[in-house]
Amino acid sequence: MEQFIKQLGERDIGLIFKNEPLANHTTWKIGGPADFLIEPKNVDGLKELMTLLTTHNVPWRVIGRGSNLLVGDGGIEGVVIKLGEGLSHLDVEGETVTVGGGYSIIKLATVISKQGLSGLEFAGGIPGSVGGAVFMNAGAHGSDISKILTKALILFEDGTLKWINNEEMEFSYRTSRLQKENGICVEAVFKLEAGDRESIVNEMQKNKDYRRKSQPWNFPCAGSVFRNPLPNYAGQLIEKSGLKGFQIGGAQVSEMHGNFIVNIENAKAEDVLQLIDHIKKTVYDKFEVQMETEVEIVNRG
């Protein structure tokens, strides 16, 4: 690690923070420190960082806007790469949208809808980055990223950049091949459809309003905690189990939506983990349905 730190200081890679609390970088406002949090200034900086990480065998992980993520109270060992402004470019040519992995998916949906392009209305209330949305095949309102992605530019651990097309991404429900491989979505290309601007904006606003009325964004949270065990819905199973409002420490099952756990009073990751386990056991005992988390859980070591 000493050589890595030395060489890191000699390069102009981007912003570097040591022992950075990840509670400052997650939508749950939970998480211990990362040894280093690095926000590359551009794609070249990210490639150079990846080369250093691989050369010195330093553990790493990437985050975007910190949604859909629970970081343990002990933090994360090694380097957390944050895709920020340096990878937030946007280019629109006709119906083709090319966008950086660090771009806000909510902002993208808003900008695109105002240009009369349809296909991203479902993403108007998803609190994550483009890279994270591709990683998770994020979706809502009957659509998801797999419906619009043409290809994604992926940076692999060996420092190579490779375009991966839609079929090669192996998309399924809230899943992509990036969950099985160590790769970072640097850029995504979406194919949208021209339509009536007013109708598209109204549809996206309707989706945003629905989420605002039905989901507890007035407290720090990470979006849906559990995958829907289709044909059932996670939130309904949790609510039918009588768990709305159930609380452990500072973490509570939302009184507004059963599939949200909210940080109502300086919750620790351990509070959330215990609550997740309690929900799993309660739902299984009542319905014999195994619940699987949708949020990514990361602990040190």
| Residues annotated as catalytic (active site), given as ranges | 174, 224, 294
Rounded to whole angstroms, the Cα distance separating 130 from 145 reads 9
How do 149-156 and 183-191 pair as beta strands? Answer: antiparallel
What residues are paired with 251 via a beta bridge? 248, 263
Rounded to whole angstroms, the Cα distance separating 58 from 79 reads 7
Q: What does 172-236 look like in DSSP terms, one character per residue?
A: BTTB-GGGTS-EEEEEEEEE-EE--HHHHHHHHHHHHHHHHHHS-TTS---S--B---TTS-HHH
CB 98 within 8 A of CB 81: no
Rounded to whole angstroms, the Cα distance separating 227 from 5 reads 39
**Locus of tokens 């629905």:** 210
